[in-house]
Amino acid sequence: MGFSRKEYEFLSEIGLSSGNLGCFVNGTWKGSGPVVSTLNPANNQKIAEVSEASIQDYEEGMQACSEAAKIWMQVPAPKRGDIVRQIGDALRSKLQQLGRLVSLEMGKILPEGIGEVQEIIDMCDFAVGLSRQLNGSVIPSERAPTTPLVTIATTKLVAEVLEKNNLPGAIFTSFCGGAEIGEAIAKDRRINLVSFTGSSKVGVKVQQTVNERFGKCLLELSGNNAIIVMDDADIKLAVRSVLFAAVGTAGQRCTTCRRLLLHESIYRTVVDQLLDVYKQVKIGDPLEKGTLLGPLHTSSSRKNFEKGIEIIKSQGGKILTGGGIMESEGNFVQPTIVEISPDANVVKEELFAPVLYVMKFKTLKEAIEINNSVPQGLSSSIFTSKPEFIFKWIGPQGSDTGIVNVNIPTNGAEIGGAFGGEKATGGGREAGSDSWKQYMRRSTW
């Protein structure tokens, strides 16, 4: 079936059509659950339809996956590494199309969409090297993301690699589905590890359900990340970094900078420069060259932004720029800077949008206390040139986040390093140097 818009025709190059089956079960595509439409957040027009999983599809898939896992476990680690290498190569061959799809379906600007896919490719490369260092059995992880076309396109590439290597398709089992499928995954004793990325509120429920059956959880939850700018900092570097960290992905990264802590002596200078660069941010279609701020992912996200602004105002927040929605068919909002007290309740929560809270401090000790005062603990950064400040920041009495940066933004991370956070961020580590340990069963003999 053809697509309603010519600009969507590239999707056929990655195996998508206007109607798609959303479950890869036992090497076969199916979907006997609800039919949902995936929308372009830039105009809220339908891209394509997806038939989601039913509980029957899920059960069939998990039975086959459990059996296929026994075969996968017997494949030597170097051979498994070679399969992952081939998956990385398959993704690399469709990098531009997949990146464009991420931008189309999620709303990231095109360089970010391509970068997102490149990150997966880099992780595959990293895993190939790791396969030469490990013994043991890797446990599969099932996920239910909110971008079904990306899931389907990626699964098709992985399925081709498995088929080429005469391995069961059920090794890679995917389900597009809603809460019913998510609950089934959390309760399923056949799934030794549940990896969940989402809000802290939902993450707590997932963890409780998995814990009840003594399963393992890998949680990557909310972030409420701060950048501290000391009085000796390179202000131009700091301003560019804050813009990238606060506005990138329309504020919808877990590592987005949401709080900016400025030394009182440079407060006005930094704020004025930020207001200046915010005026230059091009808002528009994420697929268009030069766009820096695309839409929020869904119309409900835009409504949450509006509610959040009202709460901010009711708690004494002063809107310095932005604070409104853009009149359009899409889910566009204005990048926003808010002057507010660090003690306001709204500052302790994650508003998944391009809203930046700015606040003053007098000493590094006070700044660290503000940084650590929120429930979340994912990423943080300090801008300074003084070694004594840096060592204080990265030491035991410094930042309490899982990712602690110096003179770089809060968003983005080296794939070789453990990615994850503490406190209400969940404590899980995805990618990098430690994540593989969570996907394996450890035995002493």
Cα 344 to Cα 165, 286, 307, 349, distances in angstroms: 56, 33, 16, 10
319-335 pLDDT, tens per residue? 999 999 999 999 999 99
Is there a catalytic annotation at residue 7?
Answer: no
Among positive and negative, which fits the CA dihedral 219, 401, 269, 318? Answer: positive
Residues 103-151: tens digit of each pLDDT: 999 999 999 999 999 999 999 998 888 777 654 443 343 444 468 999 9
Q: Which residue has the tokens 């030794």?
A: 192
Helix (H) or strand (E) holding 259: strand 257-263
Segment 80-106 shows an average pLDDT of 96
Residue 5 pLDDT > 90: no
pLDDT digits (tens, 9 = 90+) for 238-257: 999 999 999 999 999 999 99
Kindly list the distances between the CA atom of residue 114 and the CA atoms of 92, 96, 101, 107, 430, in Å, as whole numbers in the listed order: 10, 6, 9, 12, 20
pTM for this entry: 0.92
Candidates 220, 288, 350, 430; catalytic one: 220
Q: Is the pLDDT of residue 169 over 90?
A: yes
All domains of the chain in start order, with CATH: 6-191 (3.40.605.10), 225-413 (3.40.309.10)
Average pLDDT, the chain: 93
Confidence of residue 23 (pLDDT cuts 50, 70, 90): very high
Question: What is the token pair recorded at 164?
Answer: 């080429």
